[in-house]
Every structure is written in structure tokens, then in C-alpha cells.
Amino acid sequence: MEKQNFIGTMTLTQQFLLISLLPLSFLGMAVYLWRSDLKRRDLLWRWTFVLLAAAVWASSVLRFYGGITLPLAVSFTWGVVGRYAFSVTAVSLLIATINHVAVARHHGRFAWMLSGVLWVVTLALDPQLWDYKLPDYALAGQNIGHFDLYIAFWIASWLLPVLAAWISTQQVRAGFPNSLYRNQAHYWQMVLSLFIIGGGLASVQQPGQPGWQEAGLLFVILATFIGTVSLAHSHLPDLPIALRRLLGRLSGALVIFGLVWLALDAIVRSVAQMPKRASLALFLAAAAAVFAIFMTFLFPPLNVWIQRLFLPPATRRERALASYNEALALVPEPVELARLFLEVVQSELRTNDAWFFSVEDSAAALTLRPLASLDDHPLEAISFDDDSLFAAYLHRNQTPLAQYDIDTLSHFDAMPAAEKDQLRHWGRILYMPLHAGSRLAGVVALGKKTTGESYDRQDFARLQMLAPQISPFLVQAQNMSALRQVNEAVVAENRTLHYERRYLRQRLDLYQQFVDLISPALRRPFIPISQKIEQIQASLDEMEGKAQLTDALNQQIERHRTALERLIALAGRLQTRHDFDFQPTDLDTAVQQAIRSLKAMAEARRVHIEYDPITTLPAVLGDAAQLQEAVRHLLHNAIKYNKIGGTVQLSFDTQSDQICLHVSDTGVGVPKEKLDSLWQGLSNFNQADNGRNPGLGLTLAQYIVAAHGGHVEAESKYGAGSVFSIYLPVADA
């Protein structure tokens, strides 16, 4: 008795906890949708709002299961909020439908605006919120009161938007042929239908009786679940086929349930009538064995019968062909394409035992590697020598080959026993080579037919008709898969290069900060040293050798100051070398701009610059400003180390896929033994400018040209002048 009282006291709490799972299910669906890969963010937000509004409505049912008596104001407010939240859910469902199934904007706008008007009118007529009452009136012999009018508008406020969404979806679905988009619309129409049923049940409201609301809530949960799944997954099974399969599985489960029920009932009755001395364990074991044997022989034909009843062959064939044709248009992965082709073969030849093999053909061997299958039976790859009779047949023929022929025909007697054993181990009955032109693209291997019959000429004809349809698409899918892999590798490499470039930029920025920090520190010591020397000069008495001592100190300090200033200037010039903007560039323009920038220097040294502009010069891929600076450095050196009244000549020529710019001068030239030292980078930077020492200019020019994929060469005859040449690849090379 105490146990029964305890159960009675726990009933409301248990029901509250159970019913609370219903509004939480809407929140769970929202979380699932946000974790999916839905690209359309606008639709994601709209459907999330539908789920949240439905959760608010569903939570209002909990006021009947508080376990304790809720305050009247709380229960009343909770019910009103839930009732209007359901109308908001319906309007939000219409807005989501307009966005999802591409309803015409003017139709959709009119529907949701009218629904909004009805919602506002319902709110204005609510007798529970406002203290007024409309007079009753008669309509078709019925007395219509204020509350009746309010309920009618409330039902219309949620029913009209859902009906508008249903009709719009039906119009869109009817205007499309069989396609994935039409299938999505089909699922969405089922969502709206279930929502209408749930709303109809929820509209039946009786005081203290939440059963109708709970039933409607279950339908709405099912509707939103299907809607969430259809939004999260674009590739859904065909709805009629999915419903047939569901009915088939439910029917099979019901049949098995009935048989198990009858068997258990018979066993219980038999045990009740058994003598007490009989062995109960032996009887139960025998009954279990009989039942297992019965189910073993009954289940296969039962499964076949259910498939024929709910999923007829014509329907299976239409489904397989529709998926296969859609896949051909999208060029899927080879595995998916092979699996869809096997489904077509399954529907055409009535076999559930089929394998698709890809071909790896080399000069030494032919390897068949399993790609897809209709069952879970594993098959390993097998290799055949290039001179194998089986491999030769697959290469040369486009007709099926039966395993029986391999075992019996004398043509295959010379086939190695190991290869025959491997093929027998596979357990295949028929092999169909797939050719794309003269290339062997794949092999389809078939097992027994579900009917137990042998493959006949009609089956062979169907295979030969299907093979040319799959072969070119298989080769294309394999090529696309290889290209995707290459593209992924290129994208990964580009990502690595991007990070490396960003890393180098950070290092350059850090280097610039270091230069900015150390430059004042390097200059600072020379100021007090100079001041001290001036003080020494002013305070010392006349003494022999004072002038020579102070002059020597000043010269030493000035040399160090000059070296530091040059190093700081060098750091600043090197800092600007990390930003290159590669564009098709005309070298002729770079040469003319360099000549204009150094014209004053050439006139001051009375050096004549000779250049014939070329308008038909091919473009190079480079940074115009950097290339102009490289040319200017070479021209500057040619002017600087030229003799007074000398000549600098600039000329172009083309060699294969390169453009060559030659800068020749009539200066002092470079000794042969010093030519190699011109390319020692910055090692010559602090040397004295005695003779032909290019300093930083030639180093920067060499760096700029090398960054453009070219190189710089120097030729010189000491005392007769030098020729510096820039070689750059043309842009379209």
C-alpha cells in the first residue's frame, strides 16, 4: 500500500520530467542544425527562429504538470504566451518556406503580411487580455459569440500561413521534373502537412485536459525533425521510396513480432500442460531449435515478399536510374559512381552480389582493385601478368566472360593454377570488362542472381548496353579525382607559402625595429667624443705635435662615423626589398626612366648616353619600380667609372625566351682577377672606392634581377671598358 502511494505521489513529477523533453527536443534540433554544414546562413537563422518559437509553445504544456499548484497568474500568462507563440511559429514557418523553396517574392510577401494582420486582430479580440465583449450575432442559424470569433481568428492566424506555404511548395514541386531539388520540396511539403495535423490537434483545447496539445506537439516535433534533417542534408533518399522502405521494414517487424508472440504463447501453454516430471530445459531447447530453423527458412522469402510488395522492381529500377543519371551529371567520386552503377545492374539483372573493380594497368601487370560492392563480403586485389590469358581477354573483348568458361574451355588451360584458384576464391560467376575507347577502365564481377537462375543472353545484352555508358564517365571521374588531389596538394603548398611569406614579413618588420633601435645607439657615442676633443684642443697649451694628434683622432672618428652611416643607410635600402608587385612590364619604359633620372649626372661628367627606344619589345613579368632601379644601378656605375667625355650605350636583344639588356661603357674597366669579386654580395661594401668598385649598386641590381628569375653577367677589358648584361624571361615563356 505504501508503495502504491509513493508511485501516486511521483506521477506528476515523472510526467513533468517526461514532458519537459519535448520543448528541449526543439533546442536540440537547433544545436544539431548549427553544427551541420548548412551554407545558407539566412535560412539557418529563419529555421532556428521557428524551432525557438516552437520550443516556447511546447513549454506552455508544462503548466499542467508542475507537481505543485502554480500561481494562477503564472499559469494564465504561460498559456497565453504559448498560444501566440504557436501563431508566431506558423508565420515563421511561412517565411522559412519562402526562403527555402524559392517562392515568388510578391506571393510570399502578401501571405506573411496577411498572416501578420490576422495575428494582430487575434490579439485585439482576445477576451482574456481585454475587458470588453462584442455582441453575439447569428450566422447560418448558429449563435456566434465573442469567444467563438476569437478562436476562429486564432486558428486562421496559424492555419493560413501554413496553408499558403503548403500551396506554394506544391506549385514549386509541380513545376520541376525529377531532381534533388524536387525531392527537397517533397520532404518540405510533408513537413507542412504534419504541422497542419499537429496544429489541428493542438487547437482542440479543453480546460485541464492537455492530451490534445500533447498529441499535436508530437506531430509538430516530427515535422520539425524532418525539416531539420532535410535542411542539414541536401542528398536525401527519394521520399516515396523511403516511405515504401519504412513500411516494408515495419511490416517485417510486425510479422516477426506476431510469430514470436505466437511461439511464446504456444510454449507457455505447452509448459503449463506438461507433467511435473518432464524436463523443462530439454523442452525449451527443442522449442528454441525448432523456432530458429523455422525463422531461418522463413525470413529470406518473407524479405523478398515484403520488397516486392512495398518496393516493386519497377520502382527500384526508376530509383537506381534516377540516382545514376544525376550522378553522371555531377561527375562524383569514382567510388560513388561505381556504387550507383552496381545499383542499376542490381535492378536490371536481379542480383545482390556484384563488385566493381578499378584497373591499374602497367607494362608488367594488370591489377584489379575492389572499388565498390553491394554487400560487405571483402575481396582483395589481384594482379595478373601482362601475358595472362584472363588479362588478355579483358583487354581485347567487350563481352562478358563466365567463370564456367574459364574452368572448362581449353582456351584457358594454359592459365596458371594460382590465378584460377584466386578467381574461384572470389566466387564470381560473370566478369564484364568496361572499355573507354581502347582503354580498359574497369571490371564488373557478378555473383548469383536472387532468383537462382543462370545469366542468359538478355542479361548479356543488358550488360553490353550499360557498359559503354559508365566507362567514359568512370575515366572522367578518376581524372577529376586525381585533379582534386593535385589541387588539394597545390592549395596546401600555397597555404604553406602564405605562412612562410607572413613569417618573413614578420622577420623583416622585427629587423626594421632593430635597425631603428640600434641606429641612435650607434651614433650617440660620437657626440661626446667630438665635444671632448674640442675641449682638449681649447685647453691644451701650445705643444709640439698637438695639431697632428687631434687631426689623427678626428680622422679616425670620421672614418668610423662614415662606416656606421653607410651601414645604417644600407639597412634602410635593404628593408624595401620585400614588396614586389609582379605585373607585365615594359623594359623599354624602365630604361628611359632610368636615363632621365641620371641625365644630370651624365651631363656633369660629360658622358654621352646612347639608346634607341624599341616599341616592339616583349613584356616581362616583374615589378616596374624594382626593375627600373636595377637598370639605374648599372647605368649609374657605367657613368661613374667612365672617362670624361666617354660614352654609355644601352641596347636590347632577344635570345630564345629571354630579353637581354646590355649596358656598355668606355671607362677604365675591371681587371680580370677582380671580376669574380663583383658577385660577392655585401663583402665589398666597406672597401674604399679605389678603381672599379661597384659598392651596393651592383649587389642590389643582381638581387632584383635574380628575384625576377633572371641573372646579371659582366664582361670587361681592363682599360677599354665594361659590358653589364641583364637577362630576364619574357612574360609568356
- Cell, residue 572: 634602410
Q: Which of 115-129, 167-181, 390-404, 420-434 has the lowest mean pLDDT?
A: 167-181
559-601 pLDDT tens trace: 667 666 666 666 665 555 556 777 888 899 999 999 999 999 9
- Dihedral sign (CA 232, 235, 240, 241): negative
Please report which confidence band the pLDDT of residue 623 belongs to, taking 50, 70 and 90 as the band edges: confident
Q: What is the pLDDT of residue 82?
A: 79
The residue that leads in pLDDT, 696 or 479, is 479
Please report which confidence band the pLDDT of residue 20 belongs to, taking 50, 70 and 90 as the band edges: confident
Q: What is the DSSP letter of 670?
A: -
Q: SS3 for 71?
A: coil
Please report which confidence band the pLDDT of residue 327 belongs to, taking 50, 70 and 90 as the band edges: very low
Q: How far apart are CA 394 and CA 385, in angstroms?
A: 12
The pTM of this model reads 0.40
Q: Which residues pair with 729 in a beta bridge?
A: 658
Please report which confidence band the pLDDT of residue 123 belongs to, taking 50, 70 and 90 as the band edges: confident
Helices 313-330 and 239-273: angle between axes, nearest 10 degrees: 140
Counted residue by residue, the chain has a size of: 733
Q: What is the pLDDT of residue 731?
A: 78
Q: How far apart are CA 481 and CA 487, in angstroms?
A: 10
Nearest to 715 by CA among 695, 733, 692: 692
Residue 349 Cα distances to 335, 342, 370, 453, 468, angstroms: 21, 10, 20, 11, 17
Most confident stretch, 221-235, 395-409, 583-597: 583-597
Residue 404 Cα distances to 356, 366, 408, 641, 698, angstroms: 20, 22, 6, 92, 81
Q: What is the pLDDT of residue 244?
A: 64
Q: Does 373 have pLDDT greater than 60?
A: yes
Q: How far apart are CA 422 and CA 314, in angstroms?
A: 36
Q: E-assigned strands of 600-697?
A: 608-611, 620-622, 647-655, 658-665
Q: What is the pLDDT of residue 636?
A: 92
Q: Does 306 have pLDDT greater than 50?
A: yes
Q: Which of 87-101, 183-197, 570-584, 700-714 has the lowest mean pLDDT?
A: 570-584
Q: DSSP letter string over 557-606?
A: HHHHHHHHHHHHHHHHHHHTTS----EEE-HHHHHHHHHHHTHHHHHHTT
Q: What is the pLDDT of residue 691?
A: 43
Q: What is the pLDDT of residue 10?
A: 44
- Cell, residue 142: 448558429
- The alpha-helical segments, DSSP class H, found in 616-663 are 624-640
Q: How far apart are CA 64 and CA 468, in angstroms?
A: 67
Over the range 639-671, which residues count as b (16 or more CB within 10 Å of their CB) and which as e? bbbbeeebbbbbbbeeeeebbbbbbbbbbbbbe
SS3 sequence, 427-494? CCCEEEEEEECCEEEEEEEECCECCCCCCCHHHHHHHHHHHHHHHHHHHHHHHHHHHHHHHHHHHHHH
Q: Which of 7-11, 406-410, 519-523 has the lowest mean pLDDT?
A: 7-11
Q: Which of 67-71, 586-590, 602-606 has the lowest mean pLDDT?
A: 67-71
Q: How far apart are CA 74 and CA 59, in angstroms?
A: 13
> Kind and range of the H or E element at 712?
strand 711-717
Q: What is the pLDDT of residue 477?
A: 75
Q: Which of 209-218, 339-348, 363-372, 553-562 has the lowest mean pLDDT?
A: 553-562
Q: Does 102 have pLDDT greater than 60?
A: yes
Contacting residues for 563 by C-beta, under 8 A, at least 6 apart: 686
- Cell, residue 435: 572499355
Please report which confidence band the pLDDT of residue 328 belongs to, taking 50, 70 and 90 as the band edges: very low
Q: What is the DSSP letter of 63?
A: G
Q: How far apart are CA 118 and CA 110, in angstroms?
A: 12
Residue 715 and residue 692 in contact, taking contact as beta carbons nearer than 8 Å: no
Burial of residue 567 (CB within 10 Å: 0-12, 13-18, 19+) is middle
Residue 60 Cα distances to 158, 161, 197, 392, angstroms: 17, 22, 19, 74
Q: How far apart are CA 532 and CA 534, in angstroms?
A: 5
Neighbours of 448 (CB within 10 A): 16
Q: What is the pLDDT of residue 16?
A: 61
Q: Taking residues 398-427, what's their average pLDDT? A: 83
Nearest to 355 by CA among 334, 386, 376: 376
Q: How far apart are CA 218 and CA 207, in angstroms?
A: 20
- Cell, residue 212: 490534445
Q: Taking residues 165-185, what's their average pLDDT? A: 69
Q: How far apart are CA 105 and CA 185, in angstroms?
A: 17
654-706 pLDDT tens trace: 887 889 999 999 888 888 777 777 766 554 544 544 444 445 678 778 878 88
Q: SS3 for 371?
A: strand
Q: SS3 for 357?
A: strand
Q: What is the pLDDT of residue 137?
A: 73
Q: Taking residues 268-277, what's their average pLDDT? A: 67
Please report which confidence band the pLDDT of residue 154 belongs to, taking 50, 70 and 90 as the band edges: confident
Most confident stretch, 3-7, 46-50, 158-162, 559-563: 46-50
Q: What is the pLDDT of residue 189?
A: 84
Q: Which of 18-32, 160-174, 549-563 has the lowest mean pLDDT?
A: 549-563
Contacting residues for 406 by C-beta, under 8 A, at least 6 apart: 390, 412, 415, 420, 423
**Radius of gyration of the chain from its Cα atoms, rounded to whole angstroms:** 45
404: phi then psi, degrees, rounded to nearest 5: -60, -40
Q: What is the pLDDT of residue 275?
A: 66
Q: Would you put residue 141 in left (φ > 0), alpha (ψ -120 to 50) or beta? A: left
Q: What is the pLDDT of residue 596?
A: 92
- Cell, residue 415: 592459365
Q: Does 6 have pLDDT greater than 60?
A: no
Q: What is the mean pLDDT of the chain?
A: 75
Q: Does 168 have pLDDT greater than 70?
A: yes
Q: Which of 560-564, 600-604, 622-626 has the lowest mean pLDDT?
A: 560-564
Please report which confidence band the pLDDT of residue 7 belongs to, taking 50, 70 and 90 as the band edges: very low
Q: How far apart are CA 301 and CA 156, in angstroms?
A: 51
Q: What is the pLDDT of residue 693?
A: 47
Q: Taking residues 551-560, what's their average pLDDT? A: 70
131-149 pLDDT tens trace: 777 777 766 667 777 777 7
Please report which confidence band the pLDDT of residue 276 belongs to, taking 50, 70 and 90 as the band edges: low
Strands 658-665 and 430-436: unpaired
Q: SS3 for 174?
A: helix
